[in-house]
Amino acid sequence: MTFHKEGYTSLALCILFIFVLNALLHFFIPEALLIRWIAYIFSFALFVIIVQFFRSPKITIKQNENMVLCPADGKVVVIEEVTETEYLKDTRIQVSVFMSPLNVHVNRNPISGVVKYFKYHPGKYLVAWHPKSSTENERTTIAVENPKGYVVLFRQIAGALARRIVWYVNENDRVEQGKQFGFIKFGSRVDVFLPLGSKIKVELGAVVKGGITVLAELPK
């Protein structure tokens, strides 16, 4: 288990806040032991939350060009046929994974291939499970074409708490299945748009792991 690079600033601010809070309490109300102990417990809990949120576990990736790996840890909240209107402009199977603040928030490439499309959209911060979050929230859209010509589109979507989406890919980049392509801070969702005929390997409500759980098998 390691600490993700995206969390360094948040961790530094957390430590600074804890130091200032406790220093002020010691200086102004040194006799208020109960308040100081409450502050100690709060400080410890805050530190643990930050460390836990930005954890980056080491995992073993089993690459398979016929399979689509889950891009994030979380819970499957959507499996349905939809029309993808931004880039593909055709009917796809959408599988959406909701990441709570307790989940690992590393995002991983579901397939290997070449990035054919990338776009960042500033937007709103509706709750991640809101139906309009896919089209109105802050988000990125990434489409990757694998060596067999299948294109899988996936979308990072910020939630009500998430205020920063980070990505590490651009158009024409060659990406590797299971490797990190981004990170979303503090609660979010990832939508994956699969070709029709893909065999879905998860069910609604399933708890999934990024880079480990197989979402679907691509058409043969």
How far is the C-alpha of 45 from the C-alpha of 162, rounded, in Å? 20
Examine residue 126 and state whether it is found in any structural domain, yes or no. yes
How far is the C-alpha of 217 from the C-alpha of 220, rounded, in Å? 9
How far is the C-alpha of 17 from the C-alpha of 113, rounded, in Å? 43
Share of the chain above pLDDT 90, in %: 56
- Verify that 118 and 185 share a domain, yes or no: yes
Mean pLDDT score across all residues of the chain: 88
pLDDT at 134: 64
Examine residue 113 and state whether it is found in any structural domain, yes or no. yes
- Verify that 7 and 89 share a domain, yes or no: no
How far is the C-alpha of 92 from the C-alpha of 192, rounded, in Å? 9
Instruction: Summarize pLDDT for 20-65 with one digit per residue, the tens.
Output: 998 888 888 888 888 889 889 999 998 988 887 788 888 888 999 9
- Verify that 119 and 192 share a domain, yes or no: yes
Examine residue 41 and state whether it is found in any structural domain, yes or no. yes
Examine residue 62 and state whether it is found in any structural domain, yes or no. no
Sign, CA torsion 82/175/127/201: positive
pLDDT band at 217 (very low <50, low <70, confident <90, very high): very high
pLDDT at 66: 94
| 24-28, 150-154, 169-173: segment of lowest average pLDDT | 24-28
How far is the C-alpha of 175 from the C-alpha of 158, rounded, in Å? 23
- Verify that 162 and 121 share a domain, yes or no: yes
Instruction: Summarize pLDDT for 195-211 with one digit per residue, the tens.
Output: 999 999 999 999 999 99
For residue 188, the SS3 value is: strand
Helix, strand, coil percentages for the chain (3-state, nearest 5):
20, 35, 40
- Verify that 112 and 204 share a domain, yes or no: yes
How far is the C-alpha of 50 from the C-alpha of 44, rounded, in Å? 10
Instruction: Summarize pLDDT for 121-150 with one digit per residue, the tens.
Output: 886 666 655 556 566 678 899 999 999 999
> Does the structure show a pLDDT above 90 at 6?
no
- Verify that 105 and 50 share a domain, yes or no: no
- Verify that 51 and 71 share a domain, yes or no: no
Examine residue 61 and state whether it is found in any structural domain, yes or no. no
More confident site: 165 or 95: 95
pLDDT at 58: 84
> Does the structure show a pLDDT above 60 at 157?
yes
- Verify that 17 and 114 share a domain, yes or no: no
- Verify that 72 and 10 share a domain, yes or no: no
- Verify that 25 and 86 share a domain, yes or no: no
Give the start-end residues of each E strand in the chain. 2-3, 55-56, 67-69, 74-84, 90-99, 106-108, 113-121, 139-145, 151-158, 165-167, 174-175, 180-184, 188-194, 199-200, 207-208, 214-217
- Verify that 133 and 85 share a domain, yes or no: yes
* Residue 40 domain boundaries: 2-56
Number of domains in the chain: 2
Examine residue 44 and state whether it is found in any structural domain, yes or no. yes
pLDDT at 129: 57
Catalytic sites, residue numbers: 188
- Verify that 110 and 206 share a domain, yes or no: yes
CATH number of the domain that 209 lies in?
A: 2.70.70.10
Instruction: Summarize pLDDT for 73-98 with one digit per residue, the tens.
Output: 999 999 999 999 999 999 999 999 99
This prediction's pTM: 0.85
